[in-house]
Amino acid sequence: MSANLLFVDQPVGTGFSNTVNNSFVGDLNEMANQFLSFLDRYVDVFPELLDNDIYSAGESFAGQYIPFIAKDILIKRSMLKLRGLLIGNGWIDPVTHYESYLPFTVAKNLVKANSTFYNDIANDNEKCQQVLSNKVLVLEETCSSILYGIVEC
């Protein structure tokens, strides 16, 4: 038995990939379409791989990408044998992620409960929750600053 392993910098403009005229993707649907275009060309070059099972994997923000790509493969390229998804430390629920920073750092003794630093982070967390209650965002600077503050302590 053998397997093939392919790494793809996705979306275009990340990692070692580049774009023409800074034409970065604007949303997850566009990103998934872009990836399907890549797969189409890949299978044109290596048609023998059509018989192989496909597993899509990624980490962090790929928690957003992988499901969109998988959905499009299943709907638009059903001849491909998508068999599974692997997402490590996926960014799939920003609200839960942001809310977990303070309790996690206290539980791991990175921040002492009720210290000045703790109170500063708790205040930032309140601001974050207020921002998120008004709109759903994938990335919110008010909330991201909480983690940056913890890392820098």
The residues annotated with a catalytic role in the active site are: 60
What are phi and psi for residue 54, nearest 5 degrees?
Answer: -120, 135
Residue recorded with tokens 């053998």:
2
